[in-house]
Structures are given as C-alpha cells and as structure tokens.
Amino acid sequence: MHSIVKLILALSLPLLSAAALAQTPIPAAPSIGARAHLLVDFDSGRVLSSENVDLALEPASITKLMTSYIVFDWLKTGSLSLDDEVTISEKAWRTEGSKMFIEVGKKIRLEDLLKGMIIQSGNDASVALAEHVAGSEDTFADLMNQYAVRLGMENSAFYNATGLPAEGHVTTAADLAKLAAAMIRDHPDYYTWYADKEFTFNGIRQHNRNTLLWRDATVDGMKTGHTEAAGYCLVSSAKRGNMRLISVVLGSDNEKSRADESQRLLNYGFRFFETHRVYGAGERIADSKVWQGEAESIDLAIADELYITIPRGQYERLDAQLNILDPLIAPIEADQVLGSLKVSLDGEVVAERDLVATAAVPEGGFWHRLGDGMELWFDGLFEE
C-alpha cells in the first residue's frame, strides 16, 4: 500500500528588490462598457477580469481569426503555400462589407489574400480563402466548427468565413480567448501580421482597424469586428516584459469605446499582476528512492511548463508542496504519475500539477529485489 510523503520546499526564486517585496494593494477590476469581456494571462491562463464570458454573441469580423487560424494550420502542414495563386470567384468578388478590392477571375497570391483579410478585414478575401481551402464557403464553415471542437470552443458555431450576420453564427468571450491563445501559441510567425498597421493592394492602401496598435506599442494584435447586431468588438493582445495578456471586448457602443475598454483591461492586468515561469516541462523538481529497481532513485518533474500569475510583490510568498508516493517500487514507466505538486500563496493553492517519472526504471536483479523486499518488510514491522 502506497502512502504519501509530503515535502514543503521553498521555490527556487531570484532575489527581488525591496520595492518589489512590498505588497501592492489590488483594486477591483474596472467596470467595462460592453456586453461581455474577458482578460486572461496567456501563459498561466489565469482570468483577471470577466463578465458574461459564456454569453453567446455574434462575433462579426472577429470570425476571421478562425479563418486565418485554419489557413495557417494548412500552411504549417504543407497543404498550402503562400505562393498559391487563388482564382477569385464571383461570389468572393460580390461579398458585401469590408473589402480588399479583389477582382473576379483574377489570380491572387494566397499571402496577399491573408494580409487583406487580417489587416484590411476583407470579406472578399475571406471567402476566396475559404473556397481555396475547402471548395466552398459552406464546406469551410463545417471545417471551422471541427476546429472549434478541437480547440475547446464549446459554445461557438460558425456558418461563414467572414462574420457577416447569419442565424446561429455565435461565439463567446471565453471561446475567443482560447482561439487567440491558440493563434499566438501555434502560429507565432504568422501572428506577427496582426501587428501590421496598413496594407496596400491594387494601389489601394487601407489601415488596420485595431487602433490600439497606434496608441500602445506593446499591443501586437489581434482583430476587430462590427455589425449592427454584434456591436463593436475587439480581441487584443499585448506583451510587456515577459508577461502577455489577452483581452476580449464584445458588444461595445462604438469604435472608440471598444479600444478604450480594451486598453483599460490591459493596463489593469499589467499594473497589478505579474506572471512567472516557476518550473519548466521535464525540469527536475525532486528525486525519490526507488525500491527493487535497476536504479536507486528517480527524478520527478511536471509534464508541461508551469506559469503562475499573482498580485505584484507577492512572489517570495509562494511555497511548493510535493506529495510523493512512498514507497516507489519498480518497475516504473516513464511519465508515470508518482505524486503531485501544489504551489500556494499564503496558504491558498494557486496551481496543482502531477509529478511524473522522467525516465523508466526496470526491475532490478533477483538478489537486489530480495534485499530491498526484506528491508521494506522490516520497515513495515516498525511503522506506527
């Protein structure tokens, strides 16, 4: 029968200045003028401000985040090339709303269509890309919904590649934050296009509608949206130092409001919170004795990187508690769960992860197993 050995460890943290050690008061998050909003740390996933995050709303042109994510994914696998020449259909040419002004029957490089969709929010480019990938926009919408399931967007349904009004075409602030995080994580090279302030095509120069790009140098994306039903929407992301935040504002009153409210959220998060990488994926956290194995001990780690977002000035108040199964008896498989890690701030658990074996430990030889077995038996006799 396994028991649990508990170890309280001080996190291996760099020394902070006296100013950083002072505990900063954390005010309530600002009140946001929108139907729904969400502010979340990209690395830790901690939500810093939220309202109506699961309310189904029309996303308008923010839909194009999913359209571009799919195209980027196909580029990544080699199924598409930036040099692909896309023939523009009459449907794409006639698509209403914002345009990059492509012409029916012309062949346009896929890279230009992507930039026209991302920077100029071209609905015509979105339809052209959807048709190039899937043959028709309807089929592409089915693909969008499959990707939504894969990304954990549980309350989203897509019926077109543009975000033009369609019955049932909805998403949520929570789902859009997941999509934004996936975009940054999975396609960092293409994500840089979301920071471009303008794009010129066919002699027509158009500006990015994300006005935060001009007012805040740390903002590097992502996408605006607007229809009468959706209101004014903006998914934005900014990175200051080693901390990246994602903000989602849906259903604001006007173009200025969606930018102002997004800026307020970002400023709040960066001013009052800080994010730290506590442990790396596979990084040795501790070791533990192994009985009846070829090795005498085994290193323990967590499977993925661990980031923690906490109020500013409270970093050195973190404690790590390791709960390790005891005894550990071979054979042990690589990545086998052997315990847990809990990180606490002033007694409150802020993160918990499984502790796993960094390598396999096969059974030892007969005499080694016999010796260890007898020692375990004697230890058991004297346990209280």
Catalytic residue numbers, as ranges: 61, 64, 121
**What CA–CA distances, in Å, run from 9 to 188, 257, 265, 282, 321?**
35, 47, 35, 18, 6
Is residue 180 within a helix (H) or strand (E), and if so which, with residue range? helix 173-186
Please list, in sequence order, all residues whose beta carbon lies within 8 angstroms of the beta carbon of residue 203, skipping any fewer than 6 positions away. Answer: none
β-strands 231-240, 47-51: how paired? unpaired
Residue 148: CB atoms within 10 Å: 20
Nearest 5°: phi and psi at 52?
Answer: 55, 40
Please list, in sequence order, all residues whose beta carbon lies within 8 angstroms of the beta carbon of residue 28, skipping any fewer than 6 positions away. Answer: none
Long-range contacts of 156-160 (CB under 8 A, 24+ apart): 158/63, 158/66, 160/63
